Homo-oligomer: A and B are copies of this chain.
Amino acid sequence: MDDVVIRTHEKVRLRDPILIEGLPGVGNVGKLAADYLRDQLPAKPLATVYSKFFPPQVYVSDTGIIRLVSNDLSYWVAPPEAPHDLLVLGGDYQGISPEGQYEVTEQVLRYALQLGVKEVFTLAGFAQGRVVEEPRVLGAATIPARVEAMKKLGVVFSKNDPGGGLIGASGLFLGLGRLFGMEGVCLMGETSGYFVDPRGAEAVLKVLAKALDLTIDFTALEAKAHEIDRIAQRIHDAEQRSGEPGTPGAPASREDLGYIG
């Protein structure tokens, strides 16, 4: 089979569309952000991306219906006065091998190119290894003009972070995107890295909303953040009582944090 198969659900013509990528990763910040954006716009299904570089897996819905793991492109037609329609890429997995990362990213970029995409925003988490009360948004970009534009929106460009560069889809969409003549920005929401983090996703989306002049209602995302807080607090209290801090992954209740969202 082809390494990557993209099935188009609807033929569309988009006006100077911008691609926004958010796939599973650190704190699931990118995926939470992209999925939330898609639901709030709301964006409509455009195409589904299958690949032999994803796990050989189907998900089963509550009603017993299977669905092959995939990435998914949705589109949003902006109001006439806005300059850019949007393409949102979310999904179940990143490619599960280095080669797979390259292949999936390249095929999605080719597809996006045909739709006229010249600009990419990638959304990700940045693991700080400690609780982050008010997450900043760190940035990286393909050209200095984008760096300057993002700085004006409060994005932090740090000399030391991310030290080892970006590994995975959020970096690759920019790095390979350049080979297709696209420019772009990676927005990284600070997060502990210990659990799914809607607050990091909110920080990232707020920058994106400013950059693209979008109005997003964050009520539902904040509710999700509070839910995570409550669970984290309950675990913390239980550990205090037992006098024994939980090790990551040990108590089932702690693991619940990873599955919300």
Contact = CB atoms under 8 A, between A and B. Distances in A.
B66 A186 contact: yes
A60 B98 contact: no
A159 interface: yes
A144 interface: yes
Contact of A56 (B69, B143, B172): B172
Interface residues of A, number: 55
A174 B142 CA distance: 36
Interface stretch (A30-38, A100-108, A245-253): A100-108
Give this chain's copy count. 4
Contact of A175 (B7, B53, B58): B58
A113 to B, nearest CB: 13
Q: Which 9 A-B pairs have the closest CB atoms?
A: A68-B175, A52-B102, A56-B101, A64-B157, A58-B171, A59-B165, A58-B175, A1-B106, A64-B147
A67 interface: yes
25 contacts: A1-B102, A1-B103, A1-B107, A50-B179, A52-B98, A52-B102, A55-B98, A55-B167, A56-B95, A56-B98, A56-B101, A56-B168, A56-B169, A57-B168, A57-B171, A57-B172, A58-B171, A63-B157, A64-B157, A65-B141, A65-B147, A66-B140, A66-B166, A68-B172, A68-B178
